[in-house]
A and B are shown apart, each in its own frame.
Chain A
Amino acid sequence: MSSIAQEGSVRNLRGPNRLDIRAEVWIPLVLMIGALGYPLFLLLTSAFNVGDPEQFPARVYGFDNFVKLSRHLDWIGNTLIVASGGTVLGITIGVSLAWIIHRTTMPGRKWFDLLIAIPYPLGPLVGALAWSQLGAPRDGLINRFFTAVTGIQSPLIDIYTPLGIIFTEAVFEAPVAVLIIGAAMQRMDPALEECSTIFGSGKLRTAWKITLPLMMPAILSAALFMFTSMIGSFAIPTMLGASSRFYVSTNAMYILLQGYPPNYPLAAALGLVLIAMTAVAVWLVQRVLRGRSYAVISGKNYRPRQVNMGWMTWVLFAGALTYVMLSLVLPMGTLLLASFQSSNAINFDFASWTLRNYKYVMFDFPTTQQAIVNSLILGIGTGTLGVVFATFIAIATHRSTSSGRGLLEQVTMLPQAFPRLIFAIGFLWMILTLPIQLYGTLLAVLLAYVVVFLPLAYRGMSGVVVQIDKALEEAARVSGASPMRVLRTVILPLLRPGLVATWALLFMVSVREISASLFLSGPNTQVLGPAIFSFWDSGGMPRVSALAVVQALIILIALTVVRFMAGRGVRV
């Protein structure tokens, strides 16, 4: 009788419909609203600032900045062209590859599934750097090869064009679409298609009438993800558009902020327009998806029906192989090749190759050496902090009974809709107004990374938390385990594979990041992305390439480790 503890047990008593906000929800909610809201507030006030441009928050307001901006509509137009073109091309690649891998009997599907995932963590910076050496009109490797083979002097391709930018963006963002759409394909009950064929529909009609509509939500969310990420992309348009003076909003902002004197208000106004564009895109997609039931796409994994495409299989194989060549083999090969050279011109004479560039970036040059170390620290820090926060928020939103848990989820996912470069500017202004000295420290970059990558982390962890049957926790509690013991013995072990995968994802995106750290990393806190960029800016292709290869290697090692660990982990 005495075993039932009565003391301190008065809790959880509440009536229906009462607002009930608990600590596990309101603490992260307040933190997130602060970390997101204040930078946005500073951007907003600065965009309307017509007084002292370096005043945060501003004191004198007006519309002058937007009037000035209307003279540069080409920046916004170019951004839209690149983002829409890139999204259309990227989704086309993504849908085709997802279908080839998951729905056909093409040989080597498993290998392609692995290879296709790699270009995304390698990132746009590596992509732009490699393709600028592959597709440059005069001395690009592809054009040199073309001229050598055919004797034709005019170049075959020119990567320094809007089309080249769209192509590179699409190629390096496509893996995300393959992942999202492929996952939806695996969760679709094949009976839905089988039923259609039984009623007499052919392959094509079934694909058009049944498969495509069911895949639409996944395709649209992949498209939204790509579009917002391309609106905010910096490395590709800057490195491939600079020579032809093709400006999109992000590099225009970079120039406005780097100029003397820096034009903060105009950059803020431009940033606000970009945020408005992504907000419209989010709103449009949600409108289209509203009322669509996901019930047919269950949480269960099915073995999708695989179609034998006959002789077409080899066409598909060639297509998949082409993608791997364009996104992985050629870019990485070019970077490797360039990193062994002693001058900007690539030559194929083995004897002249050297490892000097690696020695220089890793040991001799303190800036790049420090950048490598800092990036590793940031990767580990972002991975750890991000996973801890995301797990906490995921458990709170899925398990708490508190009011406001839906709001917490939305606020956590909100940074997804902000171009990272713009958020980083607001964040920079925020830390400048803070009484503590954060500017120029690694901690400032770390905090910004955690905020901008929290949606990614939350998406990963929430997917795992959702899959854990609540009864598994309840069974432990009925067995007499306290909430902390339930967390330690049941929840965390079940989350482990998800924790490892999410940690590695955060590590990789942090190591390759440039947009969020471009302005935040000070002279004494160099990190890899901005270091590669400024190296590129000052010339010296072999050394930049060597540094990019080092970055790629760090990412590839992380990727291999997680594949290995996930393969042996407990499947929930």
Chain B
Amino acid sequence: MLASVQSGQVALSTDKASTAYIEVCDLTVAYGSKVVVKNVSFSVGGNEHLSLLGPSGCGKSTTLRCIAGLETPIGGEIIIDGVPVFSSEKRINVPTEKRNLSMVFQSYAIWPHMTVFENVAYGLRTQRVAQADVKKRVSDVLRMVGMEDYIDRPATDLSGGQQQRVALARAYASRPKAILLDEPLSNLDARLRVHMREEIKQLQHEFHLSTIYVTHDQEEAMAISDRIIVMREGSIEQSGAPLDIYNKPRSRFVADFIGAANIIAGTSQGTSAAGGPMIKSGDALIECAPGSKLAAPDSDGNHLIAVRTVYPEMLRDAPSRPNQWPAKIVRSVLLGDIVSYTVAWAGGELRLHSFPNRLFSEGEEVQIHIPAERAIPVLAE
């Protein structure tokens, strides 16, 4: 499956041969004897926005830093725009400064001894851009991030959000082939984070270049990228479009990490009339998505399915149908825009989300319905 995604991306980027794309093959990184990235392969199209998503320590930042040349892998190959910049086999390791990339750091890395202008102009000056051009490009890009009024301020006078804008301006000013963002928003407060997310998206539209965005925040990854690669313990767990990953998690890990999901364990019970596998959990017989196959069972012999908390329906009176059971509301918690319910049903307990416009009270008897196409078999490990 991964191979097909890859070839698809390669095809896409040859269509837009004018811009660069990045290919990573069999990348392996170790610190001492500890392997932190294992045989990771993926590619990014010329105009594609890719997110590397995963919990801390999953190897996503290390992978990004290898692409930038800030870490040295022990094996694999990295190709930027058709030129290998790292290859353990061919013994190639192009130094960072010759890779023609741009990067935004988690700590912003705004040089405190320079003004805003000097920070943004730095990359242009290393490229020996003419002085007049430097001035124009710096003020253009600062205008884009809304920092043109700060152009002569010392960098130490800036707030966190302003430093972030300058870091973005600096990264885009040098017109790189590709831009790497290493958790750029994680030091901002929640409101500013959402705002800056929109700005990054806007910048992506204006500059057509490939972007690799590293984050541990699934919401950020979904909002910003064309494609997400979920990483876990140094390997790729799943790769795909945001909605695909959301709707069809491959494993329990992905289902838990992205969004909120109920993981239901049960024994295999053949195939339903609609063509989906069925499992029995407690007293409930659950029909899964038609055409899907149960994944390998866990150590207890149970097969797992994931049901996103937003997909089960709660009804007061409804005619009986498959995948519908009577249930009782155990707990209801108002979270603001959504209400989180815990209900007791034949299969045990189920968490589900609904909106405040139709409130159910605790203790109320209801019917719950899990649409078969929303019951997704997942890998246990």
Q: Which residues of A contact B (CB under 8 A)?
A: 1, 3-6, 9-17, 469, 471-472, 474-483, 485, 489-490, 493-494, 496, 570-572
Contacts and interface: CB of A to CB of B under 8 A. Distances in A.
Given A9-B95, A475-B105, A480-B126, A16 B100 contact: no
Given A4-B81, A10-B91, A10-B93, A476 B113 contact: no
Given A15-B74, A17-B33, A479 B106 contact: no
Contacts of B102: 478-479
Shortest beta-carbon contacts, A-B, top 10? A479-B123, A471-B109, A475-B109, A480-B126, A477-B96, A478-B103, A471-B105, A16-B30, A493-B113, A10-B91
A330 B336 CA distance: 72
Given A15-B74, A472-B109, A474-B109, 5 more contacts: A3-B98, A471-B108, A474-B103, A480-B100, A489-B122
B282 interface: no
A570 B94 CA distance: 34
Given A6-B83, A480-B97, A485 B126 contact: yes
A314 B82 CA distance: 76
A472 B106 contact: no
Most chain A Cβ neighbours within 10 Å, of B69, B80, B97: B97
Given A4-B83, A4-B85, A6-B83, A472 B111 contact: yes
B23 to A, nearest CB: 14
B183 to A, nearest CB: 11
A489 B88 CA distance: 32
A397 B91 CA distance: 26
Interface string B70-99: 101010000011111100100111111111
Given A4-B85, A480-B174, A11 B93 contact: yes
A494 B81 CA distance: 35
A482 B109 CA distance: 17
B83 A494 contact: no
B68 interface: yes
Contacts of B80: 4
A493 B112 CA distance: 10
Nearest to A16: B30
B299 interface: no
B107 A471 contact: yes
A6 B99 CA distance: 10
B32 interface: yes
B66 to A, nearest CB: 11
Contact of A1 (B35, B74, B83, B122): B83
B320 interface: no
Nearest to A472: B109
Contacts of A489: 122
A6 B93 CA distance: 8
B357 interface: no
Nearest to B128: A480
A42 to B, nearest CB: 39
Nearest to B69: A477
B32 to A, nearest CB: 6
A16 B69 CA distance: 18
A478 B177 CA distance: 12
A1 B109 CA distance: 28
B289 interface: no
Contacts of A493: 113
A13 B93 contact: yes
Contacts of B159: none
A406 to B, nearest CB: 14
B4 interface: no
A480 B171 CA distance: 11
B170 interface: yes
Nearest to B167: A475
Given A471-B105, A494-B112, A16 B97 contact: no
30 contacts: A3-B100, A4-B85, A4-B99, A9-B95, A12-B72, A13-B91, A13-B93, A14-B74, A15-B30, A16-B33, A16-B34, A16-B35, A17-B32, A469-B109, A471-B107, A474-B96, A474-B105, A475-B109, A478-B96, A478-B101, A478-B180, A480-B123, A480-B126, A481-B122, A482-B97, A485-B126, A490-B111, A494-B113, A570-B113, A570-B156
A6 B87 CA distance: 11
Contact of A9 (B88, B94, B100, B112): B94
A1 B93 contact: no
B65 to A, nearest CB: 8
Most chain A Cβ neighbours within 10 Å, of B68, B85, B112: B112
A4 B170 contact: no
A474 B70 contact: yes
B122 A479 contact: yes
Interface string B153-190: 00010000000000000100010000010000000000
A489 B114 CA distance: 10
B298 to A, nearest CB: 33
Contacts of A5: 94, 98
Nearest to B72: A12
Contacts of B88: 13
A4 B101 CA distance: 11
A472 B69 CA distance: 15
A469 B91 CA distance: 30
Given A16-B30, A481-B126, A1 B81 contact: yes
Contacts of A483: 95, 97
A479 B174 contact: yes
Contact of A13 (B72, B82, B108): B72
A469 B111 CA distance: 10
A11 B88 CA distance: 10
A424 B91 CA distance: 49
A379 B235 CA distance: 57
Nearest to A479: B123
Contacts of B99: 4, 478
A480 B34 CA distance: 31
Nearest to A493: B113
A16 B123 contact: no
